[in-house]
Structure 1
Amino acid sequence: MALSSAAAAEKETTQVFLSNGQLEYVGLLDEAANQRLFALYDSLPIKPTVLSIRSPGGEVYTGMQLGNWVREHKLDVQVLEFCFSSCANYVFPAGIHKIVSNFAVIGYHGGSGDPKHLAFDEATQKMYDAMSPVEQKALMDDIHKTSLADGQREAHYLQQLGVRTDISSLGQAEQYASLLKQNPDTAGWTYTLEDFALLGVRDITVINPPWKPGAAMKRMVVVTIQVEQQATPKQ
C-alpha cells in the first residue's frame, strides 16, 4: 500500500512523549515509535491512563501491536485531530474509553484483506509494468495470498475486541460508491456515534458535542455512512 507524501513525511517524525500526565503519539504508526512508547510507559512511576494519538495510519501489524498493548494496559484513547487507516482500524477501538474532540476524524479507507486496499507507488508500478505476464501473475498471486493472511489476522483481532470485522471495509460496498465519488478529495469514510456502537465500538465521549468529523479541517474530506444493524460478535 503506497503512502501519501504527507504520511511518508510523518514516518520520519513520529513523536512519543508525556504531556500533562497523558501519553502522546504523533505521526505514522511505527515499530520503533511503539517500542519507545512502551519503554516510556514502563519507566514512569505513575502510569498514565490515556493515550492521545494523531496518526494517518501505518503498517497493519504495527497497528495491531499498539492496539493490543493499549487493551492489555487498559488505556483510554483520545483523538483530538485525526486517527486514520490502521489507527482507526486497530488502535481506536482498543481503548477502554474513547475521547474525541467535536471535529476529530476517525477515518477508514479499506480493510487489509480487500484487494481494493492495494495501491502501488510509482516505482513499484514501473517495476510491475516491466515484468512479463507470467511474472506479473506470480507477483499478484503472492500479494493476494499475503492480503488474505492479513485479512484473517485482522478479523481475529477485531473479534477479540468484540468489533464487527467489516468496520474497515464497509464503505467499499456498492451502496456507498456514489457517496464516496461525489467529492474527488474524499479520503475515506467514518460513522456516527450510534453506528460506531452498532459496529461494536462503544464508550465514545465527545468533547463539547455535537460531533462533526472534519469540520475544522480544510483538506480532509470524509463521508459519514450508515450502518445496517446486525448482531455484533461476542467478546
Structure 2
Amino acid sequence: MILFFIVTAAYTSLLLFYKPSPNSLKDAPLTFVENFTQIRAALFSGLLFFSIFLFTSDFGFDEVNQQLYRLFALNNISAAAILWPLQSITHLFIHINFAHVLTNVAGLGIAAAYERQVGSARFMMVLLVASLSSIPSILFYSEPIAICGISGGIFGLAAAYFTDQEGLSTKEWLYAVLICIVLLALLSVGGKIDSTATGALQFKIDHYGHALGALGAIVYCRFRPRKLAGNSRLAS
C-alpha cells in the first residue's frame, strides 16, 4: 500500500508540475490549470491502472491475484470461450506484476506529449483503437496462453505521435505501415520469445500486440485525421 501511494504521488507530481516552455519569450507560461487540462487523460488513465492493479493484487501491489488473472486476461482456450467477450475488454486493465503496470503507466506519462498536441479526446480515442487493434495478437500463439495489459495501446500512442501530423505524405504513411507489417512478419517467422517467471506465473512479452497496436493507430490517424485549429478557421 505504501508503494502504491509513492508511485501515484510521483506520477501525479511529474505530470502536473512539468510544464513545457512557451514557444516564444512573449508567451505567458502555462498556468497550473492550463497544464492540467492538457494532460488530464494521461494523468487519470495512469492513476486508474495503478488503482486497478492495487485491487487485483489483493492490495499487495506486487503481483496479480492468479484467479483474477485467469478470469479477466484474454485466453485462447476454447473451453473458456464464453468468457472471451468479457475478457476482450477486461484484459486491457489487468497487469501481471508491479514492473508490468509501472512500465505501461510510465509509457502513458511519456505519451502525454502527444496529448498536448491533439487534446484529451483524440488521445483517448487513439488509445482505444490501438488497444482493440492489439487483440488479434492472440491468434499468433498456438500454445494455450492468456494476454493482458495496455501496452498495445501505448505503442499505438507512440506511433500516432510521429504519424498523426499535418502534411504527412502518402509515401511516409506507407513507410510507417510497412515497418509494422515487416515487424509482424519477422516476429512470426522468428524464434520463440523466452519466457520469464514471476512467482507461480510465467509470461512472455506480446510483441505481436505491440506491432498490431501501432498499426491500428497509424491506420486510424490516416483515415480519421485530426481537425486542426487553423483548418477550422479557414473553413469558417
TM-score range, shorter chain: under 0.3
- Radius of gyration: which is bigger? 2
Q: Name the structure with the higher helix share.
A: 2
TM-score normalised according to structure 2 size: 0.23
TM-score normalised according to structure 1 size: 0.24
